[in-house]
Amino acid sequence: GPRPGLPPAGAASERAPRGPRLQQGLCLSSYDMVHYGHSNQLRQARAMGDYLIVGVHTDEEIAKHKGPPVFTQEERYKMVQAIKWVDEIAPGAPYVTTLETLDKYNCDFCVHGDDITLTVDGKDTYEEVKTAGRYRECKRTQGVSTTDLVGRMLLMTKAHHSNIDEDLDYRKHTDNFGKVMKCVWCVFSQGPKGHSPWTGVSQFLQTSQKIIQFASGKEPQPGDTIIYVAGAFDLFHIGHVDFLEKVHQLSERPYIIAGLHFDQEVNRYKGKNYPIMNIHERTLSVLACRYVSEVVIGAPYAVTADLLDHFRVTLVCHGMTEVVSDKDGSDPYEEPKRRGIFQLVDSGSNLTTDLIVQRIIKNRLEFEARNQKKEAKELAVLEAMKKLEEKH
């Protein structure tokens, strides 16, 4: 299976296994807001060969083409490396996949989704590798896209026209963003009346097949330390990865079981419109992480004696986030504490889903504002040129 551990920068070309037998694949992208759709792409890509290298662009490279990413390159490398189908990452990969790139990383083929990407002058970005027969395609994951997720977040913060600055600290941007927000908002709310705008895009349909494709299928072995962690794991992000990685380091042979709470439960202790991803989406997101061995789909909020005995749990871990009491006011970790198997784990990361949402929305609004400025500039240039022509 894929081996954990982030390779040192630039190591992909030297470290890649050689030999006729191994088929190596390459995926290239920004991987800025990684979701289970990306994980599914990487899962399909890994299945096409024996070894998968994932090239991730630098902040500078992304800023040049699209504007600054939400997450730094270090965060993005770490996030991709945590996906269990990734054998190796290639930091600072070029923006366009050429034959030269494939050769540099010693890869037989590259893999891309079935959406068409065009260069500035309208050519197929993958033309060169397609002609050489070194292109493979994987299916897009129905029911999720970055735009769709941002739409859900915009709804969630209720950052609509008037009360945008209640939820987020945008008072200083109100001039630019008052207008912008309206545009973004209206784009996302063009769904039929009374429906959530994003359900019109596409709805995620869970099937047992998808769960099987994502699941490890490994049972705990004698000598494994069975560690239980519980939570929403909503919008599975770098803060979750940092926490799970720390938990994974607690033992020589960890078997981590993640208990995911049902949507209703999450909403009880998180409020607002949480969770942003439903239980089915959260299940796949967590299963894609290399540190997790098993997921309980709809775990009880209180970690009960039943649960601990059933899974033969050795250790129960919780991060540094606040533990909300159960409905009856009791501590959900009462039983593991009584047994002396409860442990707080400091991931060293303060990132919560709330903070991530704020970062993403801020980035998106600035992106919209930049686009509007750019359009205005281009119009001004065209006007100026027209005036010049009229003079001559």
Report the range of poorest mean pLDDT among 69-78, 255-264, 368-377: 368-377
For 153, residues 6+ apart whose C-beta sits below 8 A from its C-beta are 276, 357, 360, 361
Instruction: Please report the pLDDT score of residue 199 as a whole number.
Output: 39
User: 213 falls in which pLDDT band (50, 70, 90)?
Assistant: very high
Residue 7: pLDDT over 80: no
352-356: long-range contacts, CB 8 A cutoff, minimum separation 24: 352/239, 352/321, 353/232, 353/234, 353/235, 353/237, 353/239, 353/270, 353/274, 353/276, 355/239, 356/235, 356/237, 356/239
Residue 175: pLDDT over 70: no
Report the range of poorest mean pLDDT among 76-85, 168-177, 252-261: 168-177
Residue 200: pLDDT over 80: no
DSSP 255-312: EEEEEEPPHHHHHHHH-TT--SS-HHHHHHHHHTBTT--EEEET--SS--HHHHHHTT
Average pLDDT over residues 140-167: 71
Instruction: Please report the pLDDT score of residue 219 as a whole number.
Output: 96
User: 202 falls in which pLDDT band (50, 70, 90)?
Assistant: low
For 195, residues 6+ apart whose C-beta sits below 8 A from its C-beta are none
The larger pLDDT score, comparing residue 284 to residue 127, is at: 284
Instruction: Please report the pLDDT score of residue 159 as a whole number.
Output: 44
Q: What percent of the chain has pLDDT over 70?
A: 82
pLDDT tens for 17-54 read: 555 568 999 999 999 999 999 999 999 999 999 999 99
pLDDT tens for 297-332 read: 999 999 999 999 999 999 999 999 999 999 999 999
Tokens of 113: 């989704």
Per the listing, tokens 């992000």 go with 237
The larger pLDDT score, comparing residue 160 to residue 327, is at: 327
Q: Give 8-41 as a 3 state SS string.
A: CCCCHHHHCCCCCCCCEEEEEECCCCCCHHHHHH
Average pLDDT over residues 75-82: 98
Instruction: Please report the pLDDT score of residue 368 as a whole number.
Output: 83
What is the H or E stretch that residue 340 is in? none
Average pLDDT over residues 242-257: 98
